[in-house]
Structure 1
Amino acid sequence: MIRTVLGDVPAAHLGRCDYHEHLFQVSPLLPGDELDDETASGAEAAALRAAGVDAMVEATPTGLGRHPAGVARISAATGLHVVHTTGAHRTEHYGGGHWLTGCPEAELVRRFTTDVRHGLPAVDARDRGPTAIGPGGTPVRAGLVKAGVGYWRIDAFERRVLAAAAATAATTGVAVMVHLEHGSAAHEVLAALAADGLPAHRVVLAHADRNLDPGLHAELAAAGAYLGYDGVARHREAPDSAILGCLERVAADGGADRVLLGGDVARRTRYRAYGGLPGLDYLPSRFLPRVRDRLGEELLHRLLVENPARVLTLNPLSAA
């Protein structure tokens, strides 16, 4: 089963999944790019659904303006399966003195585990407060735990979050998504999580394609980790053709079963419903046809359907 904001669904029902997007997000690192309007975010989700995507991961973790009840309403209105994250981002997203960055590891474990088992808080605060309730009257629960690290850095807070994410994954069965800044420190993250008892096949390395190194990606895939390709439409950093070329080489080296595709559009100025471009549907409308033409329908099905269903399926590593 896969845990969505509207309840658990069989993995076979997930469909074509965009593994990394945001419907709500507010961060001091992104002034002016707040995603905080339920109507506008709902319109973007509807556009993604209309473009042929059946499911998405809402990748906004604790303390960054997430709105679980709003996400659940959007899911119900659009028919889009949504898997919500718990966990925490890299340190810079919280600014100085944020309550979350001072939490000890044990408290982070309790908070993340509660989000998965019992429901996300309606509003993130030091004192947990009421649980978010979906349109059907049931708690909105997380189905994935997130961590984040800096550029070639894992600071003390980020290390505690990695350890807490591993513990949460072991007992609840969710996978762990890790934000890699510019694709750095991938092997180091896997080593840290392995030291905490989490095998690589339960880890998604987000932004792997911000470092377009097919040899490195083949190594990471061979180790069992999932590679998050979510850099399309960022043409200042790399053209879509470079991402497609790297993907083709990784697939040729046997890594196709370990790649996930997403958009991570994640900015008010990039959502059409907020007045920006290119919109949440860029991935299915503009990039996926190129993947199909270059690599074939069978491989595209693996990337969009089989791989995300496998990694998002609840798989507890312990009975605790």
Structure 2
Amino acid sequence: MRTVLGDIAPAGLGVCDAHDHLFLRSPQLPGQELDDPEAAAAELRAFRAAGGSAVIQWTPYGMGRGAAELPRLARESGVHIVAATGLHQAAHYAPEVLERLRSGPAGLFVAELTEGIGGTGPRAGMIKVAGGFHGLDAHARHTMAAAAEAQRATGAVIGVHLELGTGAQAVLDLLCGELAVPPDRVILGHLNRSPDLVAHRAAAEAGAYLAFDGPSRAHHATDWRLPEALAALAEAGFGDRILLGGDTTTAGARSVNGGPGMPHLLRRHRERLDIALGKDLVTQFLTANPARAFAADWARAPQDPHKGRETRRAPTA
């Protein structure tokens, strides 16, 4: 398990928020930037007080990851933090940023996973990419091809933003079919946003991990449909594929600003799931499953170390 403070045994991860954000910046969310280190520190303290041990930050390249702050925040809070490399949808970037990366994003991803973000910062522990609404555009296909190349070189898991929870099969057809990424190296995010039990089961049968993240979003069918979706998967034998996360993406959603924030996952949200599904199963979702999903054999050498050196001086954003 590659954290911002170094590698740890997967069993040491503890209770894990498998998809969240301490720092995030996007032109799609003007005025709601997560860019305050002290607010991030307060959120981690609240998460720790609620029983949390680890946070996977899915913020990828170019979206204000706060890479330089993450090691200090991990040390001070006692919470393991895993950082991400990768790229989100094109809409989250200025055109010149994407043009600069067009010829070699795989090299950037490998470098950030094995050498460090910006060459000297903490190493990333996962790759984040994104699909579109029920499909994949050219940017998504290009980014996912680079992610597959970096995954083969490092063993890192690929986390996928599914737009409104849709397009899981298109992602799996590309990543696991055409690009030959092992299904257990793929995490499909935001499945709670589309409570399609048939699609959920198909993704689980394919062997991917399923992330149900972002509780208490009034404009998604999240909290009130979640027990039904998770129960259906567990009853079908896929309880070992389920991950839970908070996905805090705006300053107003932080608990320190009156929103649900990171602690909500382990407070009211977990209480409801415990009642509906049983405490043992929910504990599995929060501990054993993320320990497997985010683990990797980091001792293996990259297939093409030269690519990593080419992008070593890339910005850390």
The verdict on a shared fold, with TM-score over 0.5 as the criterion, is: yes
In the alignment, the residues of structure 2 paired with residue 53 and residue 108 of structure 1 have an alpha-carbon distance, to the nearest angstrom, of 33
Task: Name the counterpart of 2:87.
Answer: 88
In the alignment, the residues of structure 2 paired with residue 149 and residue 89 of structure 1 have an alpha-carbon distance, to the nearest angstrom, of 8
Task: Name the counterpart of 1:213.
Answer: 196
Alignment deviations for residues 222-272 of structure 1 (CA, whole Å, 9 cap, x no partner): 110111100310123225121122111111111211110001021101113
Which letter maps to 2:71? Answer: A
Does structure 2 conserve the Cα–Cα contact (< 8 Å) formed by 1:215 and 1:250? no
Number of aligned positions between the proteins: 301
Task: Name the counterpart of 2:219.
Answer: 236
Pick the aligned partner of 2:263 from 271, 281, 305: 281
In the alignment, the residues of structure 1 paired with residue 250 and residue 147 of structure 2 have an alpha-carbon distance, to the nearest angstrom, of 26
Does structure 2 conserve the Cα–Cα contact (< 8 Å) formed by 1:22 and 1:264? yes
Alignment deviations for residues 86-107 of structure 1 (CA, whole Å, 9 cap, x no partner): 0000111114x232355235x1
Pick the aligned partner of 1:120 from 113, 117, 120: 117
In the alignment, the residues of structure 2 paired with residue 318 and residue 220 of structure 1 have an alpha-carbon distance, to the nearest angstrom, of 30
Q: Does 1:143 align with 2:140?
A: no
Deviation at 1:220, TM superposition (A): 0.7
* Identical aligned residues as a percent: 39
Q: Does 1:100 align with 2:89?
A: no
Task: Name the counterpart of 1:267.
Answer: 250
Of the two structures, which has the highest relative contact order with CA contacts closer than 8 Å and spacing of 6 or more? Answer: 2
Deviation at 1:5, TM superposition (A): 0.3
Task: Name the counterpart of 1:300.
Answer: 282
Gapped regions of structure 2 (runs ≥ 5): 304-317
Q: Specify the SS of the correspondent of 1:64.
A: coil
Counterparts of 1:1-320 in structure 2, within 5 Å, are: 2-95=1-94, 97-101=95-99, 103-104=101-102, 107-121=104-118, 131-132=120-121, 140-194=122-176, 195-273=178-256, 275-315=257-297, 320=303
Q: Specify the SS of the correspondent of 2:69.
A: helix
TM (norm. structure 2) is 0.91
Which letter maps to 1:227? Answer: L
In the alignment, the residues of structure 2 paired with residue 131 and residue 315 of structure 1 have an alpha-carbon distance, to the nearest angstrom, of 21
Deviation at 1:11, TM superposition (A): 0.6
In the alignment, the residues of structure 2 paired with residue 272 and residue 98 of structure 1 have an alpha-carbon distance, to the nearest angstrom, of 35
TM (norm. structure 1) is 0.90
Does structure 2 conserve the Cα–Cα contact (< 8 Å) formed by 1:18 and 1:56? yes
How large is the RMSD of aligned CA atoms in angstroms? Answer: 1.6
Task: Name the counterpart of 1:137.
Answer: none
Does structure 2 conserve the Cα–Cα contact (< 8 Å) formed by 1:170 and 1:318? no
In the alignment, the residues of structure 2 paired with residue 298 and residue 16 of structure 1 have an alpha-carbon distance, to the nearest angstrom, of 13
Deviation at 1:307, TM superposition (A): 0.8
Q: Specify the SS of the correspondent of 1:151.
A: coil
In the alignment, the residues of structure 2 paired with residue 319 and residue 44 of structure 1 have an alpha-carbon distance, to the nearest angstrom, of 35
Does structure 2 conserve the Cα–Cα contact (< 8 Å) formed by 1:268 and 1:276? no
Alignment deviations for residues 58-96 of structure 1 (CA, whole Å, 9 cap, x no partner): 11000001111211111110000011110000111114x
In the alignment, the residues of structure 1 paired with residue 215 and residue 255 of structure 2 have an alpha-carbon distance, to the nearest angstrom, of 16
Which letter maps to 2:120? Answer: T
